[in-house]
Amino acid sequence: MVVIILEVKMNYLNKRLISLLGGALALFSPGCSPKNINLSQYPIEKPLVAGVDGFLSNDLNIVGSKLEKECSTPVVIEPIGNWQENMPEIRQAYKQGRNIILTGFSMGSEQVKFIANRCREEGIIIELVFIIDPTYTSFGNLDLPDNVKRIKPYFSTDKIDFMSWARGNPEKFRNTGGNTKTEKPTFLRGTHLNCVKWNNLRTDLIDEVKKYTK
């Protein structure tokens, strides 16, 4: 009964409230720490993978660290609330001629949208947005800008999940129109909180890195 009441209440939250909440709570988040990378350490043909983890999560950061080692590709995953910290590496990578891949989990997915919009203002093309349980689409539209060439969304599926409200809405990724290619949603086993751990998303990201290696 408590879970049902909580889910009903959360459904009344709009995307602006979620965004503000994420920014405020980021001050106390024990997730990944901001980091800077030296792009000259990586082969010039490799894409940059940049993104934002979920609130109180370090899971996407762990995936990114493994991806960096296995593919020798630059990866920078920021904690929620620090999306602007991605921009220096993105600007430099784009000037170097690297492809740009953005990734986000949970509340971090909306901040990936902020990154994509900033990139559009600066004339930077995003080859791929790879997002997992994009919470903000539970309460609003996808709204990714037209400088994004391709979107690949993932959603958790466990029926018993008190965080099911945070998964986002797969219907927002169908028939998006425009020049952006939107892949069919991939459905993951697990709850919102463990879907990154329980699924081999690193394998999918490795395939994407290979695809966007020049």
Among candidate residues 148, 156, 165, the one with its CA nearest the CA of residue 21: 165
**pLDDT band with cut points at 50, 70 and 90 for residue 177:** low
168, 113 Cβ separation under 8 angstroms: no
**pLDDT band with cut points at 50, 70 and 90 for residue 150:** very high
Whether 44 shows a pLDDT value over 80: the answer reads yes
Residue 142: C-alpha distances to residues 32, 83, 131, 137, 153 (Å): 25, 18, 11, 6, 11
Q: Is residue 147 helix, strand or coil?
A: coil
The CATH number of the structural domain formed by 2-211 is 3.40.50.1820
Cα 47 to Cα 199: distance, rounded to the nearest angstrom: 23
Residue 175 has a CB neighbour count (10 Å cut-off) of 7
Domain boundaries in the chain? 2-211
Strands (DSSP E) contained in 54-208 are 75-78, 100-105, 128-132, 150-156, 181-182, 186-188
How many helices (H) does the chain have, and how many strands (E)? 7, 7
Q: What is the DSSP letter of 84?
A: G
Q: Is residue 155 helix, strand or coil?
A: strand
Q: Is residue 97 helix, strand or coil?
A: coil
The answer for 53, left when phi > 0, alpha when psi is -120 to 50, beta otherwise, is beta
Q: What is the pLDDT of residue 174?
A: 74
**pTM for the full predicted model:** 0.84
Find all residues with CB under 8 Å of 141, minimum gap 6, and list them: 172
Q: What is the pLDDT of residue 36?
A: 73
Lowest mean pLDDT among 15-19, 60-64, 82-86, 171-175: 15-19
**pLDDT band with cut points at 50, 70 and 90 for residue 11:** very low
Cα 159 to Cα 162: distance, rounded to the nearest angstrom: 9
Interval 88-107: pLDDT, tens: 999 999 999 999 999 999 99
**pLDDT band with cut points at 50, 70 and 90 for residue 31:** very low
Whether 192 shows a pLDDT value over 70: the answer reads yes
42, 34 Cβ separation under 8 angstroms: no
Helices 87-95 and 108-121: angle between axes, nearest 10 degrees = 50
